[in-house]
Chains A and B, each alone.
Chain A
Amino acid sequence: MDKGRKGQNGWGWVLLIGSTLAIYWLQAPLAPRFADTLLPTATLALAVLGWLLTRPPDAAARQTTWPEDRLTLFVLFALVVGMAFNRYLDGAYRLTASRPPSPWLTAVALLLLGGFVLLIARLTDRADQRRVLTGSIVLVVGLFVVLKSAPLATAAAQFWRSLSGQNPSLAAPADLAWLGFSYVAFRLIHTLRDRQTGLLPHLSLREYVTYIIFAPAFIAGPIDRAERFVQDIRALPQLVVLDAARFGEAGLRIAAGLFKKLVIADSLAQGMSLTAVNATQVTSPLALWALLYGYALRLYFDFAGYTDIAIGVGLLLGIRLPENFNRPYLQTNITTFWQSWHMTLSSWARFYVFTPLSRTLLRRKPRPSPTLIVFIAQIATMTTIGLWHGLTWTFLIWGLWHGVGLFIHKQWSDRTRRWYRALEGKPGQKRAWALFGWFITFHFVVVGWVWFLLPDVDQAAATFAKLLGIGW
């Protein structure tokens, strides 16, 4: 065996174990008792349940991975119980944010949970798969709604606190700041939906759980597709661990990400970008615009920097995560902006909201007008993206802002296509038009961030008016 490939069959296990440890380690401390240990455990439980629900119905196919799946279950069980042993470590050395419950209690609870999950799997095997998968998607969305809605999250936190003998009146939405859940939910929905449509390949439990919790992409994406991710996982046995080219590319990517995040974004965060606080303190429209530009740049460099780091770390581990940004602020229309900003989220929304909704509307009798179909689908897609960030009016308005923008651009480009093509022979005019398009697009996006950033509609509307010189 080639030296560089020695022992590569274990690399997939390294990814699973490392990612499992990472989701406990990265989870911030939470006030409700054991929440910062139980929520990562719930992530794993959801991943196992997701795998059970998305297995192919063919028993023979299931059998092919069963020995490895059994071992994976044991490894996960051992890891979760092992995490509980952090209980006996000093706070400085713990992997968990706070003291976890006792290992024995954890083991018993896991066995009961495992039994419950298996029971569900048995019952759902006999049920109508389409309904089971739809019901599962609805449950994931329901859980998402509870966590993203301040009143519901507070009520859930109150319930948790009352169970653990804590003061329920101190409950707050931040009590259930479940690390990575937004992305986990999208991955779960993607696999459940792709099982419904038959697009999902058969994944082993190890592959599925690693896909759901892959550490570099766990907190803030990118949102990979399972069928793409698993190709890399399956290619791991051929991976040359110490591949200089891969390391070089990964190193450059991580360095670029660190520069974007720590130098540019964090500098802009030091009083050079708009915040909910300084939005009420600014003394002139010019200053407000300057801070808003700062915020727009900060948001991009922060997120793009994080993504670069995630992609770079992924490369080191042998997984090539998808790109998430492609010079979004240089785009000349809002459609290409959304094809280059948080690309994996927008393509997810296109795949699971826009396309199915458009098809459903096209099949309706009588069929609505194409314009109405596009309008409804774009508004629904962008409000989904908006509300994914949080169930608030301001995120809803932000989603609508972009939905309307995309719709208007679609109508405009449909009606001006011939004229635009005629610009091919007039490079000067085409450049001027591109510059104008960039200016309008950039400012449309930048002004839209007001709704994204500010926590309530009144403040956002007042800030919006101030940008236009009103209300000083």
Chain B
Amino acid sequence: MVNGQSSIVNWRVIGRVLGKTAVLFLLLNALFAWLYPLEALGKLSLYNRLLPGRLRLPYGENPAESYNLSLHNVPAMLASHAISQPKGADEFRVLLVGDSGTWGWFLDNADTLAGQLNGLGLAAADGRSVRVYNLGYPVMALSKDLLLLDAARQTDPDLILWPVTLESFPRDKQVFPPLVQNNPERLRRLIATYELDLDAADGRFVTPTFWQRSLVGQRRSLADWLRLQQFGFAWAATGIDQTIPAEFEPRRSDFEADVSWQTFTEPATLTTGDLAFDVLTAGFTLAGDVPVLLINEPMFISRGQNSDLRYNSFYPRWAYDQYRAMLAAAAAAHGWPYLDLWDAIPAAEFSDTPVHLTAVGSKLYADMVAEGIRPFLE
């Protein structure tokens, strides 16, 4: 009896309901694991339809405050970005890939390199307006740049800007970023297509088993996709996609008498075995007819203690000087358009790391890049 009324519910009914629920649940999980539709799901997005597209790729450690989060679903990341809007007839589309410096760590969207370039109101000779899209991502690895370039190829760019720095080049770092590890099929395809000197069977690649591909196994991926849509409302309402602290610890100027870099404890001769120039070359090949402007991005140059040994906390002088020479040589050998801005920004305009700029530094940087892209606009 429930509420004084007889009920049709008995244990048999409850058992049947629970049994059918369990069977349906198992079937749904198996179907999901078999179809594994995360990529297709990623293309479904409220952004650029109900919500404005994001101005940089989703990345964030504190979603509740930044209205942004990190996820590994590349189609979902791109679908949330303004780059997924149809290209306008009057638009000269510029893709900008790179690391956290390009993404704009501790910078509002208007102050990032893309934001500053868009603020310059550049136009191509044929009258089309230059619109720069920030596809930077806060991880340092050329493989990640290549992965995003490959994914964004469909967006019909007219020009690609590719700021790089030595920290993105170490070969053993190419499979380090979680974004790369969680997109093994994409990277394996790139390894095969461009014959990259990377191990397609690297143990760091995340390869889920059949049941790990199920709804239960992929609940985190699904939740991230859903949260990305949800946080889009706060993004649309506030324009905030990053928590910028009022104060932060500035980049160091004084160093120990230490010349180590990556696995090197002493100065050594760097080779293409150490640095992933093949991945850089693959990016140019992948771009095809689309011109790519390679930029050696600005970095902080210390004048403090032991600055005769190190430029900054990232680089000892011996490693960076060799890298710079190798990059210039590679650009000349391949005929790549190249802009070397390594020392172009005053030391005061770097924020918390040797490659993160202040808004003022970013403006100076954008002015120089704007000069660099003028030939492509004619």
Interface residues of A, Cβ cutoff 8 Å to B = 242, 244-249, 251, 267, 270-272, 277-278, 281-284, 287-288, 290-291, 294
Interface contact B1-A245, CB-CB below 8 Å: yes
The CA of A288 and the CA of B238, in the complex, are separated in Å by 9
B50-80 vs A, CB cutoff 8 Å, 1 = contact: the mask equals 0000000000000111010000000000000
- Say whether B230 faces chain A, with CB atoms less than 8 Å apart: yes
Interface residues of B, Cβ cutoff 8 Å to A = 1-2, 6-7, 9-11, 13-14, 63-65, 67, 226-227, 230-240
Interface contact A271-B63, CB-CB below 8 Å: yes
Interface contact A271-B235, CB-CB below 8 Å: yes
Residues on A with beta carbons closer than 8 Å to the beta carbon of B231: 270-271
Interface contact A244-B239, CB-CB below 8 Å: no
Known pairs A245-B2, A270-B63; A290 contacts B13 (CB<8 A): no
Interface contact A271-B67, CB-CB below 8 Å: yes
**Number of residue pairs across A and B with beta carbons under 8 Å?**
66
Interface contact B9-A281, CB-CB below 8 Å: no
Interface contact A277-B65, CB-CB below 8 Å: yes
Residues on B with beta carbons closer than 8 Å to the beta carbon of A291: 233-234, 237
Interface contact A283-B11, CB-CB below 8 Å: no
Interface contact A278-B9, CB-CB below 8 Å: no
Residues on A with beta carbons closer than 8 Å to the beta carbon of B65: 277
Interface contact B2-A281, CB-CB below 8 Å: no
Give the Cβ gap from B22 to chain A, nearest Cβ, in Å: 14
Interface contact B227-A270, CB-CB below 8 Å: yes
Known pairs A272-B230, A272-B233, A290-B233; A245 contacts B9 (CB<8 A): yes
Instruction: Give 14 A-B pairs besides A281-B239, A287-B237 with Cβ atoms closer than 8 angstroms.
Output: A244-B11, A245-B2, A245-B6, A248-B13, A267-B230, A271-B67, A271-B232, A271-B233, A272-B230, A277-B65, A278-B238, A283-B239, A284-B237, A294-B233
The CA of A284 and the CA of B52, in the complex, are separated in Å by 14
Interface contact A288-B1, CB-CB below 8 Å: no
Interface contact B237-A288, CB-CB below 8 Å: yes
Interface contact B238-A281, CB-CB below 8 Å: yes
Give the Cβ gap from B64 to chain A, nearest Cβ, in Å: 8
Give the Cβ gap from B49 to chain A, nearest Cβ, in Å: 16
Residues on A with beta carbons closer than 8 Å to the beta carbon of B14: 244, 247-248, 251
Residue of chain A at shortest CB distance from B231: A271
The CA of A80 and the CA of B236, in the complex, are separated in Å by 52
Give the Cβ gap from A159 to chain B, nearest Cβ, in Å: 34
List of 3 A-B pairs having minimum Cβ-Cβ separation, nearest first:
A271-B234, A287-B237, A248-B9
The CA of A247 and the CA of B63, in the complex, are separated in Å by 39
Residues on A with beta carbons closer than 8 Å to the beta carbon of B13: 244, 248
The CA of A277 and the CA of B62, in the complex, are separated in Å by 14
The CA of A166 and the CA of B14, in the complex, are separated in Å by 55
Interface contact A287-B9, CB-CB below 8 Å: no
Give the Cβ gap from B9 to chain A, nearest Cβ, in Å: 4
Residues on B with beta carbons closer than 8 Å to the beta carbon of A290: 233, 237
